[in-house]
Amino acid sequence: MALAGAPVMLALFVLFPRFSPLWGIPSDALAGRSGLSSTMTVGHFARLALDEGIALRVKFDGAPPPAGSLYFRGPVLSHFDGRTWTPRGGSDGDGFETALTPGPADLQLLGDPVRYEVTLEPSNRPWLLTLDVAGKPPQLPGDQRARMTADMQWLTYRPVTELLRYRAESHLRFRYGLLGWDQRPRRDFSADLRLPPAYNPRTVALAEQLRQTVGTDPQALVQAALQRLRTGGYEYTLEPGSAGQHTADEFWFDTKAGFCEHISSAFVVLLRAAGVPARVVTGFQGGELNGIDGYWVVRNADAHAWTEVWYPTQGWVRVDPTGAVSPGRIGQFQRLRAPDGVVAGAIGTLSPTLLVQLRSVWDAVNNRWNQWVLNYTQGRQLDLLRSLGFDNPSWQDLGKLIAYLLTAVALAGAAWARWDRSQHDPWLRQLARVRRRLADAGIDAPPQAPPRTLLHGVAASALPTELRQPLTDWLLAFERLRYAPAGSHAGRSLATLQRDFQRLPWPRRRP
């Protein structure tokens, strides 16, 4: 029965109109999976490294970019209160307040674009994660639209509460920030130079020392800070200890250890104290290629924080200070992981690659389900109709197509039933009806009983005389007509016998 109903189920799944918002996955069940936030508190970002949940999947049209270029841009944070970084203009914690300013007027895209498709997991936030940097709006399904902020981040006009698939193209080489939004040279960097007073005095002193050593050139100051990270004994770790009031001082002079948010925050504080405009950018860096389906899987554990520095001759330039402390984190995706449990450790001992292979298979199965089932939306239905020749398809066309399909199935079923009936002996079917009627009347009529045996049962029964004699004659006629030689039927046929059987004075059945 399940196999017989499978074609109907498949047809209804493909063609039944999806009426938004009645059709879809409950938003509450899927919202908030992504651990990325619109704020960054020093000391709280490291917990994302323990979250192996998937944030997005990426399918590149051609060869993927170099490993060190896989930066997926998220919120840009400029305001710092000593512990927490927030976007300029304030934040309510969800990122919905991000300024609706148009994209930068001085964006210059260099080189050939990288084209790809993103399957974004629900985050309950309006962020569209793209490779840094996407100069064109991502192609969203249906009537959804995207907008770019002044900080080069793409947003939707409503939070992403269900699986979202879109196409985008990015340029790995770009330049922006040399001009203001009014096409005049930008000189107001107060928001990107501001530091809270009375915080991190030792870092401020270090910045003054660097200025006296290498001068005021921004690129020289950046290289001096990176060199200190490379040679100063700094460590990339998930457990740098609790952060106090002076987070940058503690990193540069005390612990000399931290996760990416410690490193990027302290790096920006140092540069701002030295007079160089800088800010923190959060998002994801890296990923892993699933060899089964060819998708790059980016997990919450790939969440990352880097910096952007403004150079007078280049504009905003990405600088990742974590790469100076741990080069393997950027080029080889060597993420920090929590220790394996007992079962995972035992499996890893027997086969180091078994867990990776099992996870790749599971991710590929989930991705296939997402692409073909969960992401089969009304837009994809209408695209199917267009491919079938409909110029301007609508849900009414879907209804008509379902009606035509069900009519065709019904006609095919009727034809099959007629053919099936023709493949069975009609005499045996009529004899089976006689047995059922006799059994209802209380006469023993086993399935193997021929007409003569049934005749004896009728003769010994308590049926009324007006039924017993006609039924006896009918059974004798049936036997003669079924087994007599051809040409001796005296004009009678099975159809005549069937009509005579229906006219027999059977007693009414009890309800």
260 is catalytic: yes
**Could you tell me the sign of the dihedral formed by the alpha carbons of 309, 310, 312, 317, in that order?**
positive
Please identify which of the residues 79, 171, 246, 304 carries the catalytic annotation: 304
- Give residues with Cβ within 8 angstroms of 266, minimum separation 6: 203, 247, 248, 251, 252, 258
Which of 282, 316, 320 is CA-nearest to residue 41?
282
Residue 428 tokens, joined: 């045996």
Q: Cα Rg for the chain, rounded, in angstroms?
A: 38
**Out of 192, 260, 262, 302, which one is annotated catalytic?**
260
8 A C-beta contact, residue 135 and residue 163: no
> What is the token pair recorded at 318?
């990405």
13: buried, middle or exposed (CB in 10 Å: 19+, 13-18, 0-12)? Answer: exposed
The count of other CB atoms within 10 Å of the CB of residue 173 is 11
Residue 75 contacts residue 34 (beta carbons within 8 Å): no
Query: By the 8 A CB rule, do 158 and 126 touch?
Result: yes
Place of tokens 């010994």: 460
3-state helix, strand, coil in the chain (%, to 5): 40, 15, 40
Q: In this structure, how many other beta carbons lie within 10 angstroms of the beta carbon of residue 290? A: 18
- Is residue 94 annotated as a catalytic residue, yes or no? no
Residue 204: closest CA among 278, 275, 280: 275
Query: DSSP string covering 305-373, please?
Result: EEEEEEETTTEEEEE-THHHH-HHHHHS-----PPP-HHHHHHHHH-TTHHHHHHHHHHHHHHHHIIII
Q: What are phi and psi of 426, to 5 degrees?
A: -65, -25
The neighbour count for residue 193, using CB atoms within 10 Å, is 18
Residue that is written with structure tokens 């060199």 in the block: 227
DSSP character string of 51-99: ---EEEEEEESSSPPPGGG-EEEEEEE-EE-SSEEE-TT---SSSTT--
Which residues are CB-contacts of 354 (< 8 A; sequence separation ≥ 6)? 347, 348
Q: Please count the other Cβ atoms lying within 10 Å of the Cβ belonging to residue 463.
A: 21
Query: Which one is catalytic: 132, 249, 302, 320?
Result: 320
Active site residue 304: yes
Task: Name the residue type at position 457.
Answer: G
Residue type at 454 in one-letter notation: L
Bridge partners of 17, per DSSP, are: none
Query: Distance between CA atoms of 129 and 233, rounded to whole angstroms?
Result: 34
Cite the active site residues. Answer: 260, 304, 320
